[in-house]
């Protein structure tokens, strides 16, 4: 997870209905400051909107008290408010994430993965180029010049080698995302699908190429689990071939079943405020 130096905030943020409602609450100004700090922390962590101390440790409520220098009561109120308004999600492991972070920060699909991969190999590219130039300059020991490569030839050779390395790095990154997606499906739906199945991998890659991201996969899984997990006729369709197929975008735009949590149970409230819909306020 590489740290980013900026995040995107729209100029009409304070015209958003949710922000205006929060602004009118007691401690509204403080809640908005906490919201901005959460956005900044999500950008700093750069982990698909998750608020993390590191890759495996989430910021818990008491940790945010210290990080944001606010009272426990205020932090608790802020998290409850943001969750009610659908601005954040808190999973069963108490991981806090900004809803639809990737979509609103324009970090989508393979473009984001490829960009991250290119950054990682940039330094290696320069080192490799220097190494090849040094080898070329040192190989002509007879003085006839026949052993030297010009810089254009070295660039072509380097491009081919680095393109291959980039594809390998990209495949490795995609593999990590596939594992995350299938693990979420198995945990949510009590299934045992494998990450190595070719059809499953091809479907996920196809959706990435269309511009969808990790958050979209998680949302589709959660939505369809709320619809089908307790339905004996339809729970068989909680599988990669159905969820990640041609109807993926259609599923993504559906609403979760009212009263169902992420595991499909219907004994909890959805946590949404009636009548409050639309884009996130950033």
Give the pLDDT of residue 220. 95
Q: HSE-up of 270 (CA within 13 Å, CB side)?
A: 15
Which structural domains are found in the chain, ordered by start? 13-104 (1.10.10.10), 109-139+148-252 (no CATH)
Number of residues in the chain:
282
CA distances for 123 relative to 4, 39, 64, 118, 129, angstroms: 18, 29, 35, 9, 10
Give the pLDDT of residue 274. 43
**Measured distance CA(16)–CA(10) in Å, rounded:** 10
Give the pLDDT of residue 151. 58
Contact 251, 243 (CB under 8 A): yes
Give the pLDDT of residue 145. 46
Give the pLDDT of residue 35. 94
Q: Which residues of the chain have pLDDT under 70?
A: 1-5, 55-56, 103-129, 131-159, 161-163, 165-167, 169-170, 259-282
**Measured distance CA(77)–CA(50) in Å, rounded:** 19
**CA nearest neighbour of 188 among 152, 230, 237, 222:** 222
Query: Which residues on neighbouring strands pair with residue 213, listed in sequence order?
Result: none
Give the pLDDT of residue 189. 93
Give the pLDDT of residue 261. 52
pLDDT (tens digit, 9 = 90+) per residue, 113-134? 666 666 666 666 666 667 666 6
pTM of the complete model: 0.43
**Measured distance CA(86)–CA(154) in Å, rounded:** 53
Give the pLDDT of residue 52. 84
Q: Around Cβ 44, how many Cβ atoms within 10 Å?
A: 15
């Amino acid at each position: 997870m590489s740290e980013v130096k900026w995040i995107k905030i729209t100029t009409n943020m304070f015209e958003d209905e949710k922000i205006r409602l929060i602004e009118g609450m007691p401690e509204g100004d403080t809640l908005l400051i906490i919201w901005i700090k959460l956005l900044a922390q999500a950008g700093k962590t750069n982990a698909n909107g998750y608020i993390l101390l590191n890759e495996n440790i989430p910021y818990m409520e008491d940790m945010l008290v210290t990080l944001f220098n606010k009272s426990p009561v205020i932090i608790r109120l802020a998290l409850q408010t943001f969750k009610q308004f659908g601005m954040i999600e808190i999973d069963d492991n108490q991981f806090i994430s900004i809803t639809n972070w990737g979509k609103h920060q324009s970090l989508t699909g393979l473009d984001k993965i490829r960009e991250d991969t290119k950054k990682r190999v940039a330094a290696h590219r320069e080192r490799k180029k220097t190494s090849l130039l040094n080898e070329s300059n040192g190989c002509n020991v007879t003085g006839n010049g026949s052993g030297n490569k010009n810089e254009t030839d070295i660039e072509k050779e380097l491009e081919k080698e680095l393109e291959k390395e980039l594809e390998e790095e990209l495949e490795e990154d995609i593999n990590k995302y596939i594992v995350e997606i299938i693990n979420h499906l198995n945990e949510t739906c009590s299934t045992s699908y494998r990450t190595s199945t070719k059809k499953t991998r091809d479907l996920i890659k196809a959706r990435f190429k269309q511009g969808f991201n990790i958050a979209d996969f998680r949302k589709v899984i959660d939505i369809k689990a709320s619809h089908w997990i307790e339905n004996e006729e339809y729970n068989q369709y909680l599988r990669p071939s159905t969820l990640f197929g041609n109807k993926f975008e259609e599923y993504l735009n559906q609403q979760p079943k009212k009263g169902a949590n992420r595991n499909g149970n219907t004994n909890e409230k959805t946590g949404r405020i009636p009548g409050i819909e639309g884009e996130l306020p950033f």
